[in-house]
Amino acid sequence: MRLLKKINHDKQLVLDGGLATTLEGYGCNLNSSLWSSEVLVHQPEKVKQAHQEFVDVGADIILTSTYQASFDTFKSIGMNTEEIEHLFDIAVDSITTTTTDEQVIVGSLGPYGAYLSDGSEYTGEYEISVEEYVAFHEDRINALINRGIYDFVFETVPNINEIKAIVEYIIPNYSDETTFWISCTVNDEGQLSDGTDFEQVCQFIRLHLDRVPVFGINCSSVQGVNQAIKRGLLSLPQVIALYPNGGKTYDPEKKVWIGTSENDQLTQNTKQWLEQGVQIVGGCCETTPKDIKEIRSLI
């Protein structure tokens, strides 16, 4: 089923959880610049297993294993175009063979900061040209469209200029057959990760309902999400999607999550968010199928 049809059909939807976290639970080593795409390269059967687990616990929306799978990422480790195209075959096959018409498959598109592999998706401390943003994102979008994926989410976007490049220069290049949503990261004060006032983000997104019918926050703390709500997130005309992380902080040097888990707060706050009208809920890094099962039980 397509994303907008599913949104119109069901009042509340459950997104899947942390793919990388679930893969680590299988014993996969993700300590590399490829992150979960490392498993796509070497243990693709594990990716399929993770998708199946999220389907089994009741997720309505399943994200492809392509968050880190940009052409630039794979070329940086010496892969040629033919090899990269084959990995997209594997990624799409892994998700289409584990889902039914009841689930929505959404292409996961990490920000430019994810390619840098230095934690920039949580700081937004990078600046490239509009042309570079377009080239970076479009190769992967086109690869997924060529394999039958037409719903997409730009995830963990921390930078206002990247958000503007996506909305003004990337999304307009595609037909109405494709649907895009944007999910950003915020700090614990509810500001965009690059420091931009969240009110400013909302002012911009509000103007582009036709291009961005779904907007939200992912891989941020529950506290940060609640602060963004106070700053106007729920006043937007878009469908809102919230899928925070498990509460820990990412260490980009060691490529591990540190700190204390707050998965129990995720479940408790999800109930409140649903009552406030949030339509899509789920989890991100450090959340597992168990967490998604608990969120499913709230609906």
Predicted confidence pLDDT, tens digits, the chain (299 residues)? 999 999 999 899 999 999 988 998 998 877 665 666 678 878 899 999 999 999 999 999 999 999 988 898 888 888 899 989 999 999 999 999 999 999 999 999 999 998 998 889 999 999 999 999 999 999 999 999 999 999 999 999 999 999 999 999 999 999 999 999 999 999 999 999 999 999 999 999 999 999 999 999 999 999 999 999 999 999 999 999 999 986 555 544 554 545 556 667 898 999 999 999 999 999 998 899 999 999 999 98
Q: Please report the pLDDT score of residue 40 as a whole number.
A: 82
Q: Are strands 214-218 and 239-243 parallel, antiparallel or unpaired?
A: parallel
- Of 151, 189, 181, the C-alpha closest to 243 is 181
Q: Please report the pLDDT score of residue 282 as a whole number.
A: 97
The Cα-based distances of 206 to 85, 275, 293 in angstroms read: 36, 22, 32
Q: Please report the pLDDT score of residue 32 as a whole number.
A: 63
Report d(CA 232, CA 225) in Å as an integer. 11
**With DSSP H G I counted as helix, E B as strand and the rest as coil, what are the percentages for the chain, rounded to 5?**
45, 15, 40
Q: Please report the pLDDT score of residue 262 as a whole number.
A: 63
Q: Please report the pLDDT score of residue 28 as a whole number.
A: 84
Q: Are strands 280-281 and 13-14 parallel, antiparallel or unpaired?
A: parallel
Contact 184, 192 (CB under 8 A): yes
Alpha helices in the chain (DSSP H): 3-9, 19-25, 37-42, 44-56, 71-75, 81-96, 112-116, 130-145, 160-165, 198-206, 222-230, 263-275, 289-298
- Positive or negative, the Cα torsion across 166, 168, 171, 177? positive
Residue 213 phi/psi, 5-degree rounding, is -75, -15
